Amino acid sequence: MPSDRTCRNCRVPLQTDDVAIYLKLVSRSAKDFLCIDCLGVQLECGREPIERLIQYYRDSGMCVLFR
Ligand SMILES: [Zn+2]
């Protein structure tokens, strides 16, 4: 996955996990992405549940996006 992606809202550089969770939660075919903070705002849940989800998918090893 390209490493030069930035949040379309605040322009911070995105980690692979940020992109992966966006693909997972919002759209598999997304072309631009939000960082965890902005995604938390958009989903009105804050970043903490999203970070927990990332950890969950990583630990479970079940999602191809988090390998
Ligand atoms: Zn952002």
Separation of 64 CA from ligand 1 center, angstroms? 24
Ligand 1 (ion): residues with CB under 5 Å are: 7, 9-10, 35, 38
Mean pLDDT along residues 11-26: 94
pLDDT at 1 over 60: no
Half-sphere exposure of 43 (CA within 13 A, CB side): 17
Q: Tell me, in angstroms, the distance from the centre of ligand 1 to residue 35's CA.
A: 4
**pTM for the structure as a whole:** 0.83
d(CA 53, ligand 1 centre) in Å? 18
Virtual torsion, Cα 14, 30, 58, 5, nearest 10 deg: -20
Region for 44 from its dihedrals, namely left if φ exceeds 0, alpha if ψ lies in -120 to 50, beta otherwise: left
Structure-token pair, residue 64: 């191809």
Alpha-helix runs per DSSP H in the chain: 16-25, 36-42, 47-60
For residue 12, is pLDDT > 50?
yes
pLDDT band, residue 27 (cuts 50/70/90): very high
Give the distance from CA 35 to its chain's centroid: 6
